[in-house]
Amino acid sequence: MKKLVIALGGNALQAEGKPATAEAQLEVVEETAAYIADIIDKGYQVVVAHGNGPQVGRIVLQNEYAAPVSPAMPFDVCGAMSQGYIGYHIQQGLTKVLRRRGSKKEVVTVVTQVLVDQNDPKFKAPSKPIGPFYTEEEAKAIAAEKGYTMKEDAGRGWRRVVASPMPVAIEELDAVKCLVDNGFIAVTVGGGGIPVIRNEKGELVGTAAVIDKDLASERLAEDLDADALVILTAVEKVSINYKKPDQKDLDTLSVAEAKEYIAAGHFAPGSMLPKIEAAVKFVESKPGRRAIITSLDKAAGALDGTAGTTLC
């Protein structure tokens, strides 16, 4: 049985134009679960990872606004909160779909810590978008008031950005392997995992950052010796000259071509760039591995080579 790590993008958890309520998210997750079940029905062993950008941003806002009546939780705790409730929704949604299809597979969420290097230079250059979108005027006002770093996000609006260090190791990897080896569908490294560092005593300590979920999913896929990394996003295929008159969608992409396009600046930081970087890293890690970047609704077809962009 071939093993896949599926990295769900934000559109798989929250639909554009719908309210950011728990009920609305669960409704979207149930729709997402049907596509994941289609892949499971093809005979693949699936491990699920997911983003948390909008959700963790809102949790941070809730904590800040409630600070006068309840102490605000630090950023790493907010990340853990997002892992827990998103994982819970995925467990509910995917279990419902599987039961309707006659499957007894169990879905389990692992609240996962991911080790980062406290000297990672990315701590000094915030780049990971979190929270809701704002107009440029709103973003500048928020930056002036709160001291946040605000940046334009791939033509979609302005968002707060935070440090996004590289994942070094998945602390709960052995537990995830145990679940996978025993037939469970594991939901792990949610939101890239809770970023932790080791203090002078060798103990794990949370740190204020958000690890990119695609790069954390790549680390997971390598460590689990997965056959493929499937990165799901809002578009069916990777493009060069994106949103320009000469936009070109790519069916396949070699590692060499991907590196050339990265160097030429074709992929937006915080958006498509980390997906390409994760895909390249995974394909280079071992001969025969492939990475697929596509939209949720095309995922099953992409595994058959009829949709999406495949790196191999």
Mind listing the pLDDT tens digit for each residue in 144-201?
888 888 888 877 889 888 889 999 999 999 999 999 999 999 999 999 999 999 999 9
What is the number of H-type helices and E-type strands within the chain? 9, 17
Of 48-62, 118-132, 294-308, give the range with the top mean pLDDT.
Answer: 294-308
Tokens of 243: 């949103």
* pLDDT of residue 69 exceeding 80: yes
Q: What is the mean pLDDT of residues 55-81?
A: 90
Which amino acids are annotated catalytic? 10-11, 128, 213, 275
Question: Position 164: which residue type?
Answer: S
Residue 131 has pLDDT above 80, yes or no: no
**Is the pLDDT confidence value at 237 over 90?**
yes
- Give Dmax (Cα) for the chain: 56
Q: Provide the whole-model pTM.
A: 0.90
- Range list of H helices, the chain: 22-41, 53-65, 75-100, 136-146, 173-181, 213-223, 255-263, 272-285, 299-303
Helices assigned H by DSSP within 50-159: 53-65, 75-100, 136-146
- Alpha-carbon distance of 250 to 43, in angstroms, equals 27
* pLDDT band at 130; cut points 50, 70, 90: confident
In the chain, what are the domains? Answer: 3-115+167-311 (3.40.1160.10)
What pLDDT does 83 receive?
A: 95
The predicted structure's pLDDT at residue 129: 80
Instruction: Return mean pLDDT, the chain.
Output: 92
DSSP letter for 124, please: G
- What is the reported pLDDT for 254? 95
Average pLDDT value for residue range 72-101: 94
Evaluate whether 26 touches 92 at the Cβ level (below 8 Å): yes
Cβ-Cβ contacts under 8 Å for 233 (sequence gap 6 or more): 9, 11, 272, 275, 293, 294, 295
d(CA 286, CA 59): 38
How much is the pLDDT for 198?
Answer: 95
Quick one: what percent of the chain has pLDDT higher than 90? 70
The answer to whether the CB of 201 falls within 8 A of the CB of 209 is no
